[in-house]
Amino acid sequence: MNAPFLAENCQIALEKKGSPNYSKLSFPIHCGVFTEVTSNSFVLHFNLSGEIIRAKGKGEEWGHPHEWLKRTMGNDWVYYSTGGYTGVFEAIGEYYLPNFAYPSNNLLGGHPFSEKTISGLINSWHRILTELSDDADDAPEAVRRFLTDALANTPACLAEKAKKLQAIIGGRISVLPPDARHVDYNLIPLTIARGCLHKCRFCKVKNAIPFGTKTPAEIADQIGKLKNLYGADLPNYNALFLGEHDALQAGGDLICFSIQEAYREFGFAQSHIAEHKTFLFGSATSLVNTPEQLFIDLEKLPGMYYINIGLESADQETLDKLGKPISAGLVEEAFARMQDINDRYGSIEVTANFIMDEDLPANHYPAILELIREKQVHSKPKGSIYFSPLTFNQPSRARLFEFNRLKVLSRLPTFLYIIQRL
């Protein structure tokens, strides 16, 4: 990074080096390489393509100096709050609580987007930058180039780019795996299969598309288009999401092909981010049916692999009530396979989701506790269990209390699943 450019009203630090690791710390750290524009009243961050990625206010009007806004590649603004630090880390495994402007199943958090300071910064960052650029006539060439790029990336252009992303991968990703929190959801999505196997009645994130895989040629084409779209900012990524809802069902050959092709084309080995990570969803059916060879092959590839399985319940009455057309026996079998894989493969972590709601059949939680407590001889550091509240936009103290009880009893790392889209 060169010395920051100092204008009358602001400071511009080009290509500032953030952390190469997504560490879980109680103060905000920002990863990768970004340009920082600071004035007396705000801080704006831009990626290597000159697109705004973070913003925060300064001074008393801004809720907390550690809280900030992040813009995703899907062009959503997410507000990261401390949640008063009360139990946020214990509940979600992260120090900062993401708040969304769209409906989610979060049990914690408030309504930050209704606050004028926050919505005001989202609506005014481009005007602020335009005003600043008027004072930067004598700035060095590199600073003027950055300002030209950043100003060309207007809110309308960024919205258009998000649409292009959706067009490439076949639509908006309605949900990312909970494990994506390990890279703050900064990943490149690659659709290797559409739809899912079960079309469960309760599920709010499914689509009507029958399960089907993409061909290697379609995947290679998608990778080429994604490479162009992410462009100069590619080095800020070292994580991949294999979509959509059950990529594990796509089979070992297609999964390994996609991972290797993406790794090479996206240049992950040269990323500013240290460790490569791949995320995908699976189902009880695909996990049980996956030949051992896939896990042997993944272990030989670089990085960590996180496979998240939607089990929902281990109680037949609950599965029936949810309209999830699988048996409790299959859930138990999938759970046993999950433990086996987690015990034997250092670079693979299989995690599982169970639902939370009021008025579930009486055996729902006892059946889960049988798996996450009684069947575990001792506590394990790996194989996270995520509890996903069924209802959206209904923070609930009763559910939180219920979750805390399950977390205390569980012998596996246990967290809340906050549904986040891309």
Does 93 help bind ligand SF4 (rule: CB under 6 A)? no
Under 8 Å CB-to-CB from 38, ≥6 apart: which residues? 10, 11, 12, 13, 44
Compute the distance between CA of residue 178 and CA of residue 185 in angstroms, rounded to an integer. 9
* Of 83 and 243, CB closest to ligand SF4: 243
Does 203 help bind ligand SF4 (rule: CB under 6 A)? yes
Compute the distance between CA of residue 52 and CA of residue 126 in angstroms, rounded to an integer. 9
Check: CB of residue 384 under 8 Å from CB of residue 320.
no
Does 282 help bind ligand SF4 (rule: CB under 6 A)? no
Does 199 help bind ligand SF4 (rule: CB under 6 A)? yes
Does 172 help bind ligand SF4 (rule: CB under 6 A)? no
CB of 200 to ligand SF4, least distance (A): 3
CB of 381 to ligand SF4, least distance (A): 27
CB of 171 to ligand SF4, least distance (A): 14
* Of 139 and 205, CB closest to ligand SF4: 205
Q: Both tokens of residue 274?
A: 């240290």
Compute the distance between CA of residue 218 and CA of residue 220 in angstroms, rounded to an integer. 6
- Report the site for ligand SF4 in 114-143 (rule: CB under 6 A): none
CA-based nearest residue to 416, from 234, 407, 1: 407
Site string for ligand SF4, 225-254 (x = CB under 6 A): --------------------x---------
CB of 59 to ligand SF4, least distance (A): 44
- Report the site for ligand SF4 in 304-363 (rule: CB under 6 A): 310
CA 239 from chain centre, in angstroms, equals 10
CB of 179 to ligand SF4, least distance (A): 15
Does 206 help bind ligand SF4 (rule: CB under 6 A)? yes
Q: Supply φ then ψ for residue 88, to 5 degrees.
A: -65, -45
Under 8 Å CB-to-CB from 71, ≥6 apart: which residues? 51, 52, 53, 54, 55, 77, 78, 158
* Of 13 and 197, CB closest to ligand SF4: 197
* Of 97 and 175, CB closest to ligand SF4: 175
CA-based nearest residue to 397, from 88, 108, 97, 131: 108
Does 81 help bind ligand SF4 (rule: CB under 6 A)? no
* Of 48 and 193, CB closest to ligand SF4: 193
Sign of CA dihedral 197, 202, 206, 209: positive
CA-based nearest residue to 205, from 171, 255, 180: 171
Q: Taking CA 166 as the corner, what is the angle to CA 192 and CA 99, rounded to the nearest 5 degrees?
A: 105
**Number of residues counted as binding ligand SF4 (CB under 6 A):** 11
CA-based nearest residue to 70, from 61, 81, 84, 60: 81
CB of 287 to ligand SF4, least distance (A): 12
- Residues of this chain that interact with ligand SF4 (CB under 6 A) are 196-200, 203, 205-206, 245, 283, 310
